Structure 1
C-alpha cells in the first residue's frame, strides 16, 4: 500500500497579492514561516520514511522548517513538484496583465504550461514514488495549483483539488490500484478564525 502525504507550502506575499508565482524564487513571508512551524509540529507526530520537496524557494523553505521539526532531512528536491510554469505572466497581477496585454490577454500565447502537461507531470511523479517506495510513508511539499491539478487527474474527479489552503495536509492511499483520500486539505494545525 502506498501512502503519500502532500503539504502545500506556507503563504507568500505573492499569494496575498494574487500575483502569478509560477517558477519565481519568491520566499515565504512571516505568516508563511509561522504556518510552516505549525504544520511541522503536527507532522513531527508521525514517522516518515521518505521526504521530498519541490526545489522552488517557497516550498524549499517550508520543507526545511519541517525537516528541523521531524528530525529528518529532505531526501531530494524534485523539479517535477514545481508549480505551473506561468510563462510571460509570472510575477504579475491580473491588473498588470490587463494593463500590459489588454483584457483579452488570456487569448494570447503567454507560454504557460498546460493543464495536461502539469497533470501528466504530477501523475508521473505519483506513479514513480508509489512504485519506488511501496509500503513506506512518504512526505511531499509542493504547490497548490500543481497539486490540485494532479489530484483531479489522480482521483478522476474535477470537483476535487480546488483552492487548497497554504500548509494544508492531504494524504492519499493506494489500495489494489485505486487511490483514495485519507485526509484532504486539512489545516487543523492552523488557528481557526
Structure 2
C-alpha cells in the first residue's frame, strides 16, 4: 500500500532569533495560500507539522480546509546549527554537510538531526499507512531526511530549494519508490519526478 508524504518547506519568514515563534512574512502568507491550493488538489488526509510557527502557518490552510487540527511533531523542527549565531552561515552549514559527524557548539550534527527526522518520518509512515500526509517542516531537516533514503539529496540540492517548496515522497511500506517536486511558477503547478 502506497503512502505519500508531502514535505512542505515553509514559506518565507523574516529572520529573528525567535526560532519557535517567528511567523511568515507578508510574502510568505501569500505563498502559503498557493501551497493550500496545491495541496487541496492532492487529496491530503492528514496534516502534521514542526512546532515552529513558520512551518505550521505554511500548512495551516490545508488543515483548515480539512477541518482538522494540525498534529505537532517536535522532531520535525529545524536542525539546531549552533546555540549562538554563527559568523558566516553559509560556511557553517557547509561544514556540517561536509562532515556528518561534525557539530558546532551546542548544535546538532547532520547525523543526529537526520536520525531525529528519519525516526519521525518512519513513525508517520507506520501510523498513516496508505494515506496522503502533508508535513510542515524546514529545508535542512527535510533534505537530511531525503538524504537518508537517497544520497543524491545533498548540500547542493538543499541550496536549490525555494521558500516554500514541496516534495512528494511515495513509499511502499518504508521503501521510497518515487520523489516528485511540486512547485508554483506563474500560477501553474509543475512537477519533476525521480522513480526508484
TM-score bracket for the superposition, by shorter chain length: 0.7 to 0.9
Q: Secondary structure of the residue that 1:46 maps to in structure 2?
A: coil
Corresponding residue for residue 3 of structure 1: 4
Among 179, 183, 191, the residue aligned to 1:182:
179
- 1:143 counterpart = 2:160: no
**3-state DSSP of counterpart to 1:180:** strand
Q: For structure 1, which runs of at least 5 residues remain unmatched after alignment?
A: 98-106
Instruction: State the alpha-carbon separation in 2 of the partners of residues 93 and 191 from structure 1.
Output: 37
Structure 2 gap ranges (5+): 92-101, 189-196
Range that drifts further, 173-182 or 74-83: 173-182
SS at match of 1:150: helix
Which residue in 2 is equivalent to 1:81?
76
1:168 aligns with 2:165: yes
- Tell me, yes or no, if the aligned pair for 2:110 and 2:144 is still in contact at 8 Å: yes
- RMSD between aligned alpha carbons? 2.9
By how many angstroms is 1:50 displaced? 1.4
Q: Deviations over 1:115-136 (max 9, x none)?
A: 0011101111111111111111
- 5 Å-filtered alignment, 1:116-127, equals 116-127=111-122
CA distance in 2, matches of 1:65, 1:182: 23
- Give the strand-richer structure, 1 or 2: 2
Distance in 2 (alpha carbons) for counterparts of 1:125 and 1:138: 13
1:35 deviates by 0.6
Aligned length: 175
Q: Which runs of 4+ in 1 moved over 6 A?
A: none
Max Rg structure: 1
Kept in 2: contact 1:8–1:169 (CA 8 A): yes
Q: Quick one: distance in 2 between partners of 1:28 and 1:74?
A: 19
Q: Pick the aligned partner of 2:50 from 28, 38, 54.
A: 54
Q: When the two structures are superposed, what TM-score results if normalisation uses the length of structure 1?
A: 0.77
